[in-house]
Amino acid sequence: MTLHEQVEELQNLFDENESLIENNCARLNQLQQELSQEEVSFLEVKDKLIKLLQQLKVSYGSTQPYTTYLQEIADAASALNVTNDFNSQLANVLKSFQ
Q: Find the helix or strand (DSSP H, E) in which 4 lies.
A: helix 3-60
pLDDT at 47: 75
- Regarding pTM above 0.85, the answer is no
Query: Which one, of 79, 96, 91, 89, lies nearest residue 30 by Cα?
Result: 91
Q: Is the pLDDT of residue 60 over 80?
A: no
Nearest to 50 by CA among 32, 77, 31, 30: 77
Residue 72 has pLDDT above 70, yes or no: yes
For residue 39, pLDDT beyond 70: no
CA gap 30, 24 in Å, rounded = 10
76 vs 3, more confident: 3
Mean pLDDT of 26-44: 76
Total domains present in the chain = 1
Model pLDDT, residue 34: 81
Write out the residue range of the structural domain in which residue 43 sits. Answer: 3-96
